[in-house]
Amino acid sequence: MGVPFDIALPDPDGSGNTWDTAVNGALNAVKARINNEAIARGVPLDSFPGANDDAKLAHALSYVSQQTYKPAIVLGQRSMEFKQTRQVFNGLAFKGAITGNEFRYNQRVRISVPGSGWLDLPSGQTKGLYIGNLSFEGDSDTTFFVDHGNTGPVLWASHFENLAFNLFRHVMWGAHTAVTFSGFWDVNNSYDTPFKLWGSDNTYWTDGMLIDSPKMGGGNRYHVWLPNITKTVVGPIFITAKSNICGIRLDGGRGIILDGVRFDAQAQAGNPTWGSQLLITGGKFVRVRDCWFYGGMSQPNSTGHTNPAHDKGILTITGGTNILIDGPMFSDGDGSQPNKTAAGAPHIYIGGGSKIRIHDIQASGTPIVKRAPSVSANTIVTDPDVPVSVD
């Protein structure tokens, strides 16, 4: 197999020496075995020619795209920089040797494509993308993937694991089908909403993610925005939502599960969440289970958001149907952290929607659940000891 890191061996001396022929035959067998084992782990970027990392990557992408069974491109344990947008293709894979983290201890993959992003999807469907074990660093005008909306290209059956993204404008804005995020994720210092995702059949952050972005600016900002997502599970993210940032916004879709998300704030450092930490404006068959909330609704009347109806409770629901809130935990700090939530702020506020069930709510004090006058009491079911008052 020809590989970019092939081992050069001496030819027999041409004398017909049986010993030379036997030795070279054995060496060629060893070489083939080494190459086969190495290619299974991927092709190192540094095995390709080029005066800089972009030039090396151009050769690497050309090589990989021509292979029937595509090896991963291995980005090594060093600092590297890419300044050109690259169009992905089916089966493209990037990998590192060690789990990514925001501190870039093991490698630093610097991405700078001002006004655009590093990876772009062609029109239609792209399948089988893999990116894992890497630490990426961007800048305030660079996105990791080029932004697309729900009518743009779709990423299918792809896997992202053990990744870190620091200092990007956005990480992923686009449509997904059967995409999995797994392993350790660490996302920090985004300059705008890092994730805005549409699609179906996805499994996101099954092993969790740490996400904290104090640089996002004013106005409507979210760590994870799901405008329309269907048959998708979002796993145990640990969200630190500072100031005007809302942790997760869900606007529509069917069969969505938020499982074990921890909505937190650095209230002890003077950075509570000003408004809601979880906002649900739509969706059908939505389950929010075993989620933790702390530090929300510190100044709900002064969030800088465009719609005051979105900041009525730590968990605010304004639309949707068949919504189950199961086992939420609302902490006021419990003596270990300061209580910055405004007095009397609802833990859960229902400003719209129908067929809403709330069970096993826990709170440091008395649980507060309120509804707007326009919402019928008959559409809300809670445990007998949790009343729903009209706001």
Looking at residue 97, what is its pLDDT? 80
What are the CA-CA distances from residue 125 to residues 10, 119, 157, 167 (Å)?
A: 46, 14, 10, 28
pLDDT at 31: 58
Q: What is the reported pLDDT for 106?
A: 84
pLDDT above 90: percentage of residues in the chain: 85
Under DSSP, the state recorded for 273 is B
The mean pLDDT of 76-90, rounded to a whole number, is 96
Residue 226 in any domain: the answer is yes
- 307: burial class by Cβ within 10 Å (0-12, 13-18, 19+)? exposed
Q: What is the CATH number of the domain that holds 122?
A: 2.160.20.10
Give the confidence band of 3 by pLDDT, cuts at 50, 70, 90: confident
Residue 180: domain span: 45-390
Distance CA 159, CA 32 (A): 30
pLDDT for 381 beyond 80:
yes
**Cβ neighbours of residue 120 under 8 Å, at least 6 residues apart?**
85, 86, 87, 88, 145, 146
Buried b (16+ CB within 10 A) or exposed e, 353-387: bbebebeebebbeebbbbbeeebeeeebebeeebe
User: Cβ of 124: how many Cβ atoms within 10 Å?
Assistant: 9
Q: What is the pLDDT of residues 339-354, one digit of tens each?
A: 999 999 999 999 999 9
Cβ 278 vs Cβ 292: under 8 Å: no
pLDDT digits over 267-292, tens only?
989 999 999 999 999 999 999 999 99
What is the model's pLDDT at position 126?
98
- Whether 159 is in a domain gets the answer yes
Tally of domains within the chain: 1
Looking from the CA of 17 toward its CB, the CA atoms found within 13 Å total: 9
Confidence of residue 1 (pLDDT cuts 50, 70, 90): very low
Residues 314-336: tens digit of each pLDDT: 999 999 999 999 999 999 999 99
Query: Is residue 261's pLDDT more than 70?
Result: yes
How confident is the prediction for the chain on average, in pLDDT?
93
Q: Is the residue at 37 inside a domain? A: no
Please tell me the predicted confidence (pLDDT) of residue 215. Answer: 86
Q: Which of 93-97, 175-179, 321-325, 379-383 has the lowest mean pLDDT?
A: 93-97
Q: Mention every residue, 6+ apart, whose C-beta is less than 8 A from residue 181.
A: 160, 161, 203, 204, 205, 206, 209
Mean pLDDT of 108-126: 97
Of 290, 276, 279, 275, which Cα lies nearest the Cα of 252?
279
Confidence tier at 8 by pLDDT (50, 70, 90): low
Q: Mark 269-301 as b/e (b = at least 16 C-beta within 10 Å).
A: eebbbbbbbbbbbbbbbbbbbebbbbbbbbbbe
Helix (H, G, I), strand (E, B) or coil at 122: coil
Mean per-residue pLDDT for 140-148?
98
Nearest Cα neighbor of 320 from 359, 350, 278 is 350
Residue 249 resides in a domain: yes
- Average pLDDT value for residue range 121-127: 98
The predicted pLDDT at position 98 comes to 80
- Residue 167 within a domain: yes
Share of residues in the chain with pLDDT > 70 (%): 91
Q: Is residue 198 in a domain?
A: yes
pLDDT score for 105: 85
Model confidence at 307: pLDDT above 70? yes
Whether 14 is covered by a domain: the verdict is no
Is 3 a domain residue? no
Residue 2: predicted pLDDT = 63
Distance of CA 241 to the CA centre of its chain: 15
